[in-house]
Amino acid sequence: LLGLRAGGFLWSLALLASLVASAYWLWQLFGRPDNQRYLLGVSFAPAIICVLIGQTSLFVLPGYVLFLRLHRSRPFWAGMTLWLCTLKPHLFLAIGVVLIAWVFVSRSYRVLAGAAVALTVSCLVTYFMDHEAWTQYLSMMRGSGINQEAIPCISIVFRQWLSPKTIGLQYVPAVLGCGWALNYFWQRRRTWDWVKDGNLLALVSICVAPYSWITDQALAIPALLFGAFRTRSQVLLVILAAASVVIEGELLSGVAFASNLYLWTAPAWLAWYLVTCAGTSKPLNDCLVSGMIVAPDREVEDFCGVKTPRDSR
C-alpha cells in the first residue's frame, strides 16, 4: 500500500515499538524495580537483529508478555493475546503443553476461550481475503525446501549429525522437552506462577524448538530480565551484556545467519538463567510475596482501568 521505503520504515518502527513496549511492560510486571536493567532487554542482540532485518519475532514477544500480565486479571484477553504467539508456534511447544495442562488444572477456561476466538476470527479473515490461502500455504510448505536449509539450531544439528534425511529426528528434542515441561509443571501445579515458573520453561522451549534462528531468541527477554532484576551479581549482568556484544560482533564481521557460530546462544541464555537462580538473589521489591509476583494497586488501576481495594495487595 505504501511502497517499499515507507512500508519498510513503518514495519521497522512497529518492531521497535513492540520491543520497547514489551520491556516496559515487563519492568512494570516485575514491580517497577528502581534500576535501569530493563535496558538489557531493549538492547538484547537477537531483538536488535529483528529490527534490522524486519523479523516478526518481535511481534510474538508482546503476545507472550501480555499473557503474563493479564492471565490473572483478564484471562479471556490473555487468551486473545496468545494469537500473536501463533505467528511462530514452533517456539512454544514446551510452553504450549504446559499451558493446556494449566488451563485444565486451574480451570482457566476463559484463557482457552480467548485463544479460540482469536484464532477463529483470524482464520475467517484470511479465508475472506483469499479463499485459496490455505491450499497455497500448504503447497508452499511442501516445496519450500526449508528442511534442507542449514539453520543454527540444536534440533537441526542433531538430525544432521545422526541422519540428515530422517526429518523425524528433528522433533526428538522437542518431544523430550515437552515431557520434561509437563513433569516440571506437575510438580509445581498447586503453586504454579507463570511470571516466575514460566521463565525456565520459555528458555527450554527455545532450546528444543524443531527449528529456530538467532532472531527467535527475542522470546528469551522475559526470563533474562527477570534474572537481571533479581541478581545481586554485577558480573552476571556484564556477562549478559557481553554476550549480546559478541553476537553483534559476529554479525558485523560478516558471519552468516545460517552459521553454526550462533549455535551457542540459546544454551547460553539457559545456562545464564540457571546460574542466576542458583546464586544469591534479591526480591524484586515488596511485591514478591510467597513466591508470587503481584502487581501493585497502581499498576492494576493504570493497566486495567479498574479500582482495587486498598487491602488487595
pLDDT in tens, 108-133: 999 999 999 999 999 999 999 998 88
- Based on C-alpha coordinates, what's the Rg of the chain? 20
At 280, the pLDDT band (50, 70, 90 cuts) reads low
> Could you report the per-residue pLDDT of 13-50, keeping only the tens digit for each?
999 999 999 999 999 898 888 777 878 888 899 999 99
H/E run at residue 279:
none
Helix axes 234-252, 221-230, angle to 10 degrees: 150
Nearest to 156 by CA among 171, 141, 144, 145: 171
- Determine whether 217 is exposed, middle or buried from the number of CB atoms within 10 Å of its CB (0-12, 13-18, 19+): buried
CA distance 300 to 289: 16
CB 151 within 8 Å of CB 170: no
Nearest to 312 by CA among 300, 303, 302: 300
> Could you report the per-residue pLDDT of 120-173, keeping only the tens digit for each?
999 999 999 998 888 898 888 887 777 777 788 899 989 888 888 888 889 999
Return the higher-pLDDT residue of 279 and 187.
187
Amino acid at 1: L
SS (H, E, C) 225-236: HHHHHHECCHHH
Return the exposure string of 183-198: e unless at least 16 CB atoms fall within 10 Å of the residue's CB, then b.
ebbeeeeeebebbbbb
pLDDT at residue number 35: 74
Amino acid at 5: R
